[in-house]
Amino acid sequence: MPYVTTRDGVEIFYKDWGSGQPIVFSHGWPLSGDDWDAQMLFFLGQGYRVIAHDRRGHGRSSQVAEGHDMDHYADDLKAVTEHLGLRDAIHIGHSTGGGEVAHYLGRHGDQGVAKAVLVSAVTPFMLQTEGNPEGTPKSVFDEFQAQLAANRAQFYLDVPTGPFYGFDQPGAKPSEGSIRNWWRQGMMGGAKAQHDGIVAFSQTDLSDSLRRISIPVLVMHSEDDQIVPYAAAGPKAAKLLRNGTLKTYQGLPHGMHTTHAETINADILAFLRG
């Protein structure tokens, strides 16, 4: 299997299919590059080269004890892009992966990158503070960590069965396959990485990273996202970007790229071709 080794010795697994303009996908917590299957196959069919990596401590990458923070996530993404020699790349990130993409571009610059897409992203800042009253209270994230530590396997069934895909909403039709696939990906990764990752995605203010990005960025977020509340994320992120476009959805869940892949894929394709 293909891996790139980072400067601190972490082996990052990646998938690299096709040719043409590269699209690099960054996954959400606590999943893996497999979460982008519907997008990888679709954009491969549209003539793009598609690449997805497993974040350190997740999926098939090294289950190291340290480095589970946005700085390392961004640096690991840079290691992948440099290893593959990518030019004119498009970066797409979901949830924590959206934060990873934003920080990668803000930390390392957006030269050589054509466009970016942030899907249900944690940008700019999830934590509720005096300056960010729309954020989520720290007690919620503390409870996430407590549930993970107490019974990770059960927690990783409860999340996709409920709020992640909106299967807890009236009239929803739960997909057993999507639930099991979420659980499979989560349990492949390391508990330490995923435990620390909760702090990384909830307590990292990415506002400055967004301000530094000059390329066109599409921000896709649903007003009914139960994981990353819309008011604290989508509109704020788009406002901070120099060249941001906000695409707002109603009735779609946090994991809308899975539950409504046709809609999300079509909207991303229109942005890339526009």
The token pair that represents 207 in the structure block: 């506002």
Annotated catalytic residue 168: no
d(CA 100, CA 72): 9
d(CA 54, CA 56): 6
The token pair that represents 104 in the structure block: 């990668």
Candidates 100, 96, 102; CA nearest to 228 is: 96
Distances (CA, A) of 115 to 96, 216, 226: 18, 5, 27
**129 secondary structure, DSSP code:** B
Catalytic residue among 26, 95, 120, 222: 95
Annotated catalytic residue 225: yes
Length of the chain: 274
Which residue is associated with the tokens 């530094």? 212
**Angle, helix 37-45 to helix 261-273, in steps of 10 degrees:** 50
Catalytic residue among 58, 91, 225, 257: 225
Distances (CA, A) of 38 to 33, 46, 99, 113, 129: 11, 13, 21, 23, 36
Annotated catalytic residue 208: no
**Residues belonging to the active site:** 95, 225, 254
